[in-house]
Amino acid sequence: MAPDFPRKIHHPPVIPEKLLKQHHVYEPFDARFRAAARLLQAIWREDQELPIGSYLTQAGKRRKLGSRIAASAGEAGGNFLSGDIAHVVRREVAYREPGAMIDEERLATNLLSSMPLVFNLFAPWVGSLAQASCFLREMLPAFTGEATQILFEHSPGRGNPNFTGDYSAFDALIRYVDESGRRGFVAIEVKYAEGMREPIRQRTPEQIAHYDSLSERCGLFVDHALPALRTNPLQQCWREHMLGQCMVDNGLYDEGYFVFLSPELNCQAQAAANAYTSHLTPTAEGKVRFLSLTLEDAIKKIRLTDPNHADALYRRYCDFWLVDGEMELSAPLFGALRKTEKSAPAESSVSAAGLALPAAEAPRKRRRRKP
């Protein structure tokens, strides 16, 4: 559960290189949130006593990485919060939709990936649709229906020109029926440490023309021809929102929602969602509605029906006070700090910037909590 501290972490910290290297998670090109999230995953792995994994560098050398687990631990389901979730994952991978792009190694061993996060979030509901229904009631305005099915890495038709004609798919999709019998869906795109700058696939002239036509026909956008919709960081939301609208327009559903889910501290993902929202037309009947939800808010809604699951999710993915605690326990942030400490008055403490602070304002030293 979120700790009750007098202040809130409003943005991710700049973590000392020495601390990142100590946990084998120093990646020089990581943005601030990605570095913090990578360290948080390494802390979780260490607390779970899972063996460290590795990856092959461009030079062909094997390098340890604290945000990965060893293949043996991955095969045993170590990347998932419970054995039941791991069981759902194995079956979903075995019975994946034709053409579904699931990187099994990444799913099994990469702690930082959003792919295992999707399963850790929603897999417990596969056998308990009542919990999924409660989640939808908390998330959607005036929702009165019942969840009927949960799908992972779902597309209504990969490569089908009746839809986006490409391989776009939703991370998860919850089907529901409301009390009047209307069929609906909640399609979910989950981001964890991604900066919304992932490589864009090469598009043929035919594909570009198809996108342009869909963008106009869907009626979702203030300016359907806006170039910004076709590039990062907005292009994935644009494609998947159109995919959802095609599902309604082709009669598969009567209504739908497209939900973008990302951590509160991932400012790049949050900024992308806000920017995308600004390009949408007002909500109208028959149009798929877009919602942006923080991962923390989603976990709060899950806590209403399953506190243990929510606590495990928060501890693994959102408890950045654990990162804060590691920094407090590490060596001083700056080499000059030790000299400043020696010259500081006895009744004062020293801030991270080397400034004397009254004892009452000194930062509290916290030890990392065990799960």
The reported pLDDT for the residue numbered 354 is 34
**Which pLDDT tens digit goes with each residue over 223-259?**
999 999 999 999 999 999 999 999 999 999 999 999 9
Cα–Cα dist 8/267, whole Å: 15
Residue with tokens 């399953």: 306
Cα–Cα dist 265/320, whole Å: 9
The reported pLDDT for the residue numbered 367 is 43
Taking the model in full, what pTM does it have? 0.86
* Bond preceding residue 199 cis, omega within 30 of 0: no
Residue with tokens 């106009």: 216
The reported pLDDT for the residue numbered 131 is 94
pLDDT averaged per 10 residues in sequence order, the chain, 371 residues: 62 94 95 97 98 89 95 97 97 96 96 98 94 94 91 95 95 96 97 90 91 97 97 97 98 97 97 98 95 97 96 97 92 52 40 34 41 42
Burial code (b: 16+ CB inside 10 Å, e: under 16) for 24-56 equals: bbbeeebbbbbbbbbbbbbbbbeeeebebbbee
Query: How many residues make up the chain in this entry?
Result: 371
The reported pLDDT for the residue numbered 60 is 83
The two three-digit tokens of residue 356, written as one number: 């004397």
The reported pLDDT for the residue numbered 348 is 35
- At residue 189's C-alpha, the angle toward residues 186 and 194, to 5°, is 165
The reported pLDDT for the residue numbered 356 is 35
- Around Cβ 134, how many Cβ atoms within 10 Å? 18
The reported pLDDT for the residue numbered 117 is 98
Burial (CB < 10 A; 0-12, 13-18, 19+), residue 305, is middle
Cα–Cα separations (whole angstroms), residue 326 to 5, 41, 67, 284, 333:
16, 13, 16, 48, 12
| Cβ atoms of residues 239 and 168 within 8 Å | yes
Burial (CB < 10 A; 0-12, 13-18, 19+), residue 301, is middle
- SS3 category, 20: helix
